[in-house]
Structure 1
Amino acid sequence: MACIDRASPALKQILLKLYRAEKSIEIDHHLYEFGSVEYHIQSQASNPLVAYLSLSIPPLCHGTLPNTLSSYTIEKIKGICPNLVEIEEPAREGFQLTLKLNLDHIPRNKDYVKVIEDISTIQSVILSSQLKEILWNVNSDDAVQGMYKPIKVVYHPREPFFVIRQPQKIIAIFPIRFKEKSDVIIATAFFQELVDVGNSDKWIKTPPCSWSAIPPPELRGEAFEDLNTNGGL
């Protein structure tokens, strides 16, 4: 199962290459992640102090969030290295966001790696902002009636998970899929042990964790292909 890394390793590598170049280089590179996220990195040799990073990312929850980035998400993006990153208006054609990177503002000491890593978290910042908006804004009508419908969240095209907002708590349910049968056997034992440890007295303050080989009642009515797993939920 894919996991959400704070920084994109591939994007970080390209930006480090651009920053460390001993002479001006020209870059016009498209990078794809998770099959649906696209980066476009551009830098001209004639202006080595500036680079442009464009990003196209589908909404986490279709029908709940617009295809454009919200003002809340924009503010979170502005918080990434504010002296170095500027939002270009309008974004480049085919992208939701274009950032102007002022490379001359990156420190010339060892901190430059941390700064570039922060820039490479742009996808994670957008995803976390969208998830917060989903939890804030959806299900309000259902909650009044005592109904709490699952929210299908798609951070990877083939690996959605579900979030259910209830009074005083939020439930996250992750369908687990593995390619190799041996991985399924190992993972099943691991998750069972994880549940036992997580529910012990030592970890009483941590969120409760459970594992099941079959979908829980909260997901009744969801599409079969989203719940078809070999590693449980």
Structure 2
Amino acid sequence: MILLQSHSRILIETLSNRVQNLDKAVELDYNWVEFGDIRYHVQVSAKNPNVLLLSVSLPVPPPETVFVGGLPYGAIEAIKSAYGSVVQILDPPRDGFNLTLKINLAKLPTDEERKQALLMKIASVREVVLGAPLSVVLKHLLSRTVAPGLDGLLALVHRPNESFFLFPQAERVTVVYPMRFSDSVDTTYAASFLQEFVETRRTAGLTSAPVCSWSPDPPPELKEASAEPLSANAGFVSFVIYPRHVEGGKLDRTVWNLSTFYAYVSYHVKCTEAFMHTRMRRRVEGMIQALDQAKPETEEKTKSPNNRSFKRLSIKEGRTNSKS
């Protein structure tokens, strides 16, 4: 099963090429969209080739999500903690974007390994920004506390119409995903996939993984949620995160896996649908081949004017028959 990468491939290629050619005074002006919802803009001026401006446009959040100043809760602190003095947040951001970062490439570490790690972290700005509220909650879980102001039901968003919920407690955090699909076939595949996903979690080799459950009805944690998120036609998936799941350097990976779980399920649902279509096409082709092989082989016959078939004889055969 595939796990999505946290960094933008186009952004990491752009950053790496710019770092390798800092001595060249070139101008860059790139725009692109990833996943149909995140828009990036990279700009470099020839007058100052060491400075790169990165603007990011985030998906429009549903009304139940927590956004402060156009950014998720804790995003500013997460950016400062992840990038340090290399990155400066411009206020206000560029028009049409939620965030603009001024990246001073001359301040990158001289050590090649640390430099590449920081570039990869910059290319993972989507994870840093959108995963900030979840990161804050899970960091407090390490200390067995609840973040101030985040002690109730908290709604987060990673893509449009794909919000999920956190229910923080001192000893654990419950993460609930209302699974919603527009296509009826996708809904059926998703419900079957999620039930199998839960059953796989119970195998002996996955005892240390977070507790996972699926239900067609909303769990008790969503009793305070509005009616719109509860209209999930593929059921509700719940994970229970304990401190052991975020300690020892596991925090960033846990944040990303939880943030992209909806996309993870959607990807495998589409793969299942494509696999089923391939199997059906192969089966139809096999049936057509069997029918072609079952057709009787007809001998080529010459018909008489009275529609009677006869066999042509050679001249020698005709003389032999007349003598007899």
TM-score, length-scaled by structure 2? 0.54
Superposed counterparts of 1:25-174, under 5 Å? 25-33=26-34, 37-57=38-58, 64-67=66-69, 73-82=75-84, 85-94=86-95, 95=97, 97-104=99-106, 114-133=117-136, 136-138=147-149, 140=151, 149-174=152-177
- Structure showing greater radius of gyration is 2
Query: What is the CA–CA distance in structure 1 between the aligned matches of 2:37 and 2:50, rounded to whole Å?
Result: 30
Query: What is the CA–CA distance in structure 2 between the aligned matches of 1:25 and 1:179, rounded to whole Å?
Result: 46
Gaps of 5+ in 2: 138-145, 237-324
Q: Helix, strand or coil: the match of 1:50?
A: strand
Shift of 1:173: 0.8
What residue is the counterpart of 1:6 in the other structure? 6
- Deviation by residue 1:17-42 (Cα, 9 ceiling, x = unmatched): 54466954322334445666443321
How many residues matched?
222
Q: Helix, strand or coil: the match of 1:197?
A: helix
- Deviation by residue 1:175-210 (Cα, 9 ceiling, x = unmatched): 223455544444333322221232345433332100
| TM-aligned CA distance change 1:110 to 1:205, over 3 Å | closer
Query: What is the CA–CA distance in structure 2 between the aligned matches of 1:111 and 1:64, rounded to whole Å?
Result: 33
Q: Helix, strand or coil: the match of 1:6?
A: coil
- Residue identity (%): 30
Query: What is the CA–CA distance in structure 2 between the aligned matches of 1:4 and 1:138, rounded to whole Å?
Result: 31
Gaps of 5+ in 1: 141-148
Instruction: For 2:222, give the aligned amino acid.
Output: L
1:223 aligns with 2:226: yes
Q: Helix, strand or coil: the match of 2:147?
A: helix
| TM-aligned CA distance change 1:225 to 1:156, over 3 Å | same
- Deviation by residue 1:32-55 (Cα, 9 ceiling, x = unmatched): 456664433210123322211133
Instruction: For 1:98, give the aligned amino acid.
Output: T
Query: What is the CA–CA distance in structure 2 between the aligned matches of 1:80 and 1:214, rounded to whole Å?
Result: 39
More helix by share: 2
Query: What is the CA–CA distance in structure 1 between the aligned matches of 2:104 and 2:128, rounded to whole Å?
Result: 20
Instruction: For 2:45, give the aligned amino acid.
Output: Q
- Deviation by residue 1:138-166 (Cα, 9 ceiling, x = unmatched): 354xxxxxxxx532222222111111124
What residue is the counterpart of 2:195 in the other structure? 192
| TM-aligned CA distance change 1:137 to 1:156, over 3 Å | farther
Instruction: For 2:47, give the aligned amino acid.
Output: S
Shift of 1:69: 6.2
Query: What is the CA–CA distance in structure 2 between the aligned matches of 1:167 and 1:108, rounded to whole Å?
Result: 40
Query: What is the CA–CA distance in structure 1 between the aligned matches of 2:55 and 2:190, rounded to whole Å?
Result: 37
RMSD: 3.8
| TM-aligned CA distance change 1:125 to 1:218, over 3 Å | same
TM-score, length-scaled by structure 1? 0.71
Shift of 1:87: 0.7
- Deviation by residue 1:53-99 (Cα, 9 ceiling, x = unmatched): 1335477986755216699644432343546x231453444455432
Superposed counterparts of 1:178-189, under 5 Å? 178=181, 180-189=183-192
What residue is the counterpart of 2:251 in the other structure? none
